[in-house]
Amino acid sequence: MPTTPTHWTLAARAAKMNPSVIREILKVTEKPGIISFAGGLPSSKTFPVAEFDAACAKVLRDDPAGALQYAASEGYGPLRELVASQLSAQSAAAGVPWDVDPAQVLITTGSQQGLDLVAKILIDADSRVLVETPTYLGALQAFTPMEPEVVSVASDDEGVDIADLASKVGTGASKARFLYVLPNFQNPTGRTMSEARRAALVAKAAELGLPLIEDNPYGDLWFDKEPPAPLTSRNPEGCIYLGSFSKVLAPGLRLGFIVAPKDIYSKLLQAKQAADLHSPGFNQRMIAEVMKDGFLDRHIPTIRALYKSQRDAMLAALQKDMPSDVTWNTPVGGMFLWARLPEGMNAQELLPKAVDKGVAFVPGAAFYNDHADPRTMRLSFVTPNVDEIRTGVAALAAAIREHRSA
Ligand SMILES: Cc1ncc(COP(=O)(O)O)c(C=O)c1O
């Protein structure tokens, strides 16, 4: 049958969507034999397979109809209660009590969906939104289709610079809708906001009437000392908090959560209904089943110990092999370390040479909204094992030396 040519007209917002640079890099690095410091993939050794196996069978046996039927958009009640009680307990232990009501917890399809829902309800075309420098690329991807004016706030080892924040908030119609911020073991830099900076940020945001979007997927993965209390616990009405099960249980289940003030919650819920009706009920029940006897309190310390040993291996290998003018930080939790090449070098240009030597990383430029620092690189220490870390760092150091002398 003859067909007539079809002309598709894309929405303006579609033109602003870009493939994730990281996903493109991952395609290269997934080649066999490449040691990858590029991906943000939790170690698959940490997935509690036996516990999920048992929970899966129990959920199907106890309530197959409930687990497999359409369900409430807010999420599975017992899971919302577990999230609320865990956050309340953690904040109390950190010295800033935050009484989280399960009615404020919205279960999402990963915290990535949380970012998408936040973007949909808070950003108009040309709205100003503030981000750290650098910031999580997936957040920029979630915000961009809403066509905001994204403004980077200068940041140091402890996070956003408060004076620069105040100068960039704007007024009237151009006043920023929110600041997106990652206080714990940030992706990409691995840095952590100090107690003093948190207190100052929350006070300044309250003074300016600036909402904070606090993204905390890594907060449980501390190595020696629990990080200071979340920003949201200090001003729950002024913040939206995003959490995730991806880094403490398994990313493949695609579950996370939002805690929001009540008025905002109802809008997020409507956006969620339009997006996917609800997150997978079966997965929510499995996670609730796995969590219900305090499993995370036993499981998370094993992830911390593993990641700490891998961070230590990476720090020791960097110290041993890197030219003396390469610098890096010492993350106190999470999955990433941030390194900087010597003056005049460019991480993007180094990458193909590193891949030729069998090692990959993400050039830091990918994480800047503007004014990228071309010398920076994000190195993940959680996916390869300790031997691979040593071999990979030696290969990276060799690539840097060759690239410099070329
Ligand atoms: C800072 C940050 N936020 C959100 C996400 C999304 O995580 P998920 O959707 O798996 O919960 C990630 C994933 O790596 C992340 O690094």
* Cα 350 from Cα 357, distance rounded (Å): 11
- Which range in 17-21, 115-119, 352-356 is most confidently predicted, on average pLDDT? 115-119
Task: Find the mean pLDDT for residues 231-249.
Answer: 98
Please identify which residue in the block is written with the tokens 């870390």: 389
* Cα 59 from Cα 67, distance rounded (Å): 7
By C-alpha distance, which of 284, 191, 204, 197 is closest to 245?
284
Q: For residue 246, which atom of ligand 1 is closest to its CA?
A: 10
Around Cβ 177, how many Cβ atoms within 10 Å? 22
Q: For residue 112, which atom of ligand 1 is closest to its CA?
A: 9
CB of residue 132 inside a 6 A radius of ligand 1: no
364 neighbors 155 (Cβ within 8 angstroms): no
CB of residue 112 inside a 6 A radius of ligand 1: yes
- Residue bearing the CA closest to ligand 1, atom 16: 187
CB of residue 251 inside a 6 A radius of ligand 1: yes
By C-alpha distance, which of 348, 366, 307, 355 is closest to 331?
307
Tell which one of 23, 136, 193 to mutate to probe ligand 1, the residue whose CB is within 8 A of the most ligand atoms.
136
Q: What is the pLDDT of residues 195-236, one digit of tens each?
A: 999 999 999 999 999 999 999 999 999 999 999 999 999 999
All residues at 6 or more sequence positions from 399 whose CB lies less than 8 Å from its CB, including other chains: 350, 353, 354, 356, 357, 359
* Cα 92 from Cα 97, distance rounded (Å): 4
The whole model's pTM is what? 0.96
Answer yes or no: is pLDDT of 182 > 90. Answer: yes
Q: What is the pLDDT of residues 109-128, one digit of tens each?
A: 999 999 999 999 999 999 99
Q: What is the pLDDT of residues 280-332, one digit of tens each?
A: 999 999 999 999 999 999 999 999 999 999 999 999 999 999 999 999 999 99
Distance 377 CA to ligand 1 centre (A): 19
Task: Find the mean pLDDT for residues 386-400.
Answer: 97
CB of residue 256 inside a 6 A radius of ligand 1: yes
Q: Is 206 exposed, middle or buried (0-12, 13-18, 19+ CB in 10 A)?
A: middle
CB of residue 279 inside a 6 A radius of ligand 1: no
CB of residue 380 inside a 6 A radius of ligand 1: no
Mean pLDDT of the chain: 95
Tell which one of 21, 43, 109, 111 to mutate to probe ligand 1, the residue whose CB is within 8 A of the most ligand atoms.
111
CB of residue 182 inside a 6 A radius of ligand 1: yes
Answer yes or no: is pLDDT of 30 > 80. Answer: no
Three-state secondary structure call for residue 214: strand
Start-end of H helices in 169-294: 195-208, 231-234, 262-276, 281-291
Given pLDDT bands bounded at 50, 70 and 90, which one contains residue 1? Answer: low
What is the enclosing helix (H) or strand (E) of 353? helix 347-356
Around Cβ 101, how many Cβ atoms within 10 Å? 14
* Cα 229 from Cα 99, distance rounded (Å): 13
Question: Strand runs (DSSP E) across 112-204, as ranges?
Answer: 128-132, 149-153, 155-156, 159-160, 178-181
Q: Percent of the chain having pLDDT more than 70?
A: 100
Task: Find the mean pLDDT for residues 53-72.
Answer: 97
Tell which one of 23, 112, 383 to mutate to probe ligand 1, the residue whose CB is within 8 A of the most ligand atoms.
112
Q: For residue 245, which atom of ligand 1 is closest to its CA?
A: 11
